[in-house]
Amino acid sequence: MIHPSTGQSRGPSPRTLLASLLASLLHPSTDHTPLLAQARRRWLRYLPYVAALAAISSLLPSSINVLAHDYGLNAGLAAALSVAQTVPLLLAPTRPLAAWWMVGSANVLTSALTLATGQNTSPVWPWPATGLVGYLLLMLPLALREERRTLVAVWLATSVWSLAFSVIGTVRDWGGDNSLLAIALTGAVLVLGGALRERAEARRLLTEQEQISEVERERRTLLEERARIARELHDVVAHHMSVIAVQAASAPYRIADVPAEAAEEFTTIAGTARESLAEMRRLLGVLRSEESGGEKAPQPGVGQLAQLVETVGRAGVPAELSVDEGLAERVPQAVGLSTYRIVQEALANVVRHAPGARTWVSLSSDGPELRLTVVNAPPPERTESLEASAEGTGHGLVGMRERVRLVDGRLDTGPLPDGGFKVAAVLPLDTPRETTA
């Protein structure tokens, strides 16, 4: 709010702050998950309840004895008040604020009844030692569960009733005053517990952010690999479209006595092919990134695998290539490009993760399918990483899966029992045809 005379912003009024603090005490956290419920070890999940039972077992008889002998309360009343001060600790792992209302009310009632009916012979007032210990034990789960404003309200309420009964006890000349000690210890436990809670919350948010970042990174990698595949396939499709355009445009000159209707149809086909090429170039401009450059070199295929294997061999990975005779001529261009990229990435992974390991690359035909296998042995001991020599796309298995999916193939990857690794792909050799509806 803006003050009319000074024009400066003023904070909330004391009444507003008091109402806010009171509201925080009346509205506990909606999270009722037991403390340590996410722990991996089973005994840790039960630890809060075991600790609560142990506290009750030790504090309940001690509290009855202290209230009856040191504060002059009759045994029945002392037992009832002791139960009210200790048993609600069982709620602390799940609903600590509700437990605080019960324990706090029991402490206030104990002090009030002591003033009204008791004869204080204890050396401390207004907090019996057993009551203070139980109260401090409750403060830790309360601080681990509730927000900062609630903890401030709890501390202020504790301070108010401690100081109020301390003043009354001073008038009656009752024992040593431990109100300031109780206020200080309560504040210390609340601060410690609140700090632990906020640190755990920060770590949880950081973990969630890292998971989101990892998902986004994987998605970006997938999109980049798909764009790369699309750019490479442009060259394959553009070659076929260029052949169609050239053949259609030259058909009336190469073939004698072509009817006028047929010549016009060839001209239309050539024009459509040229328009398709122009649209593909526009699409390629959208897919091409600033870092991709011109990429004007011919796209590789099965025929370039020998050179790739030789290059990897110079990088320190002994590799052997086996290709069925005549297979290279049978492989469609798109399948050949996918084959080359899969082998390239598999060999790059060997260089990165198993430098010096002996590797075998095999291509064979099984009817209408091309079977591709890249197998590497375990890396020799005491070899330095040659990751800088890798020539892969950098997208690993993501790129392989996309290449295989593009041509409706199958991919199988995984470690071998001897410590090596295998990449096996089955790609169709037949060019897919459109089916008529």
DSSP string, 169-181: HHHTT-SEE-HHH
Angle, CA 193 vertex, CA 192 and CA 197 arms, to 5°: 120
Positions in the chain whose pLDDT score sits under 50:
1-2, 5, 7, 294, 382, 384-394, 433-437
Question: Is 185 within the bounds of a domain?
Answer: no
| Rounded-to-integer distance, Cα 17 and Cα 393, Å | 60
Instruction: For residues 235 and 335, state if they share a domain.
Output: no
Beta bridge partners of 411: 425
Instruction: For residues 314 and 277, state if they share a domain.
Output: no
Instruction: For residues 253 and 394, state if they share a domain.
Output: no
Domain that holds residue 237: 224-287
Instruction: For residues 364 and 272, state if they share a domain.
Output: no
| Rounded-to-integer distance, Cα 129 and Cα 265, Å | 104
| Rounded-to-integer distance, Cα 89 and Cα 92, Å | 5
HSE-up of 366 (CA within 13 Å, CB side)? 10
Instruction: For residues 162 and 244, state if they share a domain.
Output: no
Q: Where are the alpha helices (DSSP H) in 255-392?
A: 260-287, 305-314, 327-330, 333-353
Contact between 403 and 229 (Cβ < 8 Å): yes
Place of tokens 């970042």: 213
Number of residues assigned to the chain: 437
Beta bridge partners of 422: 375, 414
Question: Is 417 within the bounds of a domain?
Answer: yes
- What pLDDT score does 88 carry? 96
| Rounded-to-integer distance, Cα 389 and Cα 348, Å | 8
Question: Is 39 within the bounds of a domain?
Answer: yes
Question: Is 28 within the bounds of a domain?
Answer: yes
**Tokens describing residue 287:** 């897919």
Instruction: For residues 24 and 150, state if they share a domain.
Output: yes
Element (H, E) at 233: helix 179-254
DSSP string, 352-391: HHSTT--EEEEEEEETTEEEEEEEEPPPPSS----GGG--
Angle, CA 110 vertex, CA 174 and CA 21 arms, to 5°: 105
| Residue 107: exposure state from Cβ atoms within 10 A (0-12, 13-18, ≥19) | buried
Q: Where are the alpha helices (DSSP H) in 70-178?
A: 75-86, 96-117, 129-145, 148-171
| Rounded-to-integer distance, Cα 86 and Cα 88, Å | 6
Instruction: For residues 256 and 354, state if they share a domain.
Output: no
HSE-up of 86 (CA within 13 Å, CB side)? 25
Beta bridge partners of 413: 423
Distances (CA, A) of 139 to 23, 55, 104, 154: 19, 13, 11, 9
Instruction: For residues 245 and 380, state if they share a domain.
Output: no
Instruction: For residues 172 and 311, state if they share a domain.
Output: no
- What pLDDT score does 338 carry? 86
- What pLDDT score does 77 carry? 93
| Rounded-to-integer distance, Cα 437 and Cα 434, Å | 9
| Rounded-to-integer distance, Cα 216 and Cα 210, Å | 10
CATH code at position 329: 3.30.565.10
Place of tokens 């050539």: 270
Question: Is 197 within the bounds of a domain?
Answer: no
Contact between 24 and 16 (Cβ < 8 Å): no
Question: Is 143 within the bounds of a domain?
Answer: yes
Instruction: For residues 328 and 277, state if they share a domain.
Output: no
Contact between 139 and 21 (Cβ < 8 Å): no
- As a whole number of Å, the end-to-end CA separation of the chain is 71
CA dihedral of 228, 367, 325, 296, whole degrees rounded to 10: -20
Strands (E), 57-204: 124-125, 176-177
Question: Is 184 within the bounds of a domain?
Answer: no
Helix axes 129-145, 96-117, angle to 10 degrees: 160
Instruction: For residues 80 and 105, state if they share a domain.
Output: yes
Q: Where are the alpha helices (DSSP H) in 38-95?
A: 42-69, 75-86
Total number of domains in the chain: 3
User: Distance from CA of residue 336 to its chain's centroid?
Assistant: 38
- φ, ψ of residue 135 to 5 degrees: the values are -65, -40
Per DSSP bridges, beta strands 176-177 and 421-428 are unpaired
Domain ends where: 177, 206, 236?
Answer: 177
Question: Is 214 within the bounds of a domain?
Answer: no
Domain ends where: 177, 193, 210?
Answer: 177
Q: Centre a 10 Å sphere on the Cβ of residue 404 and count the other Cβ atoms it contains.
A: 20
Contact between 408 and 360 (Cβ < 8 Å): no
Per DSSP bridges, beta strands 359-366 and 319-323 are parallel
**Tokens describing residue 286:** 């959208």
Instruction: For residues 37 and 169, state if they share a domain.
Output: yes
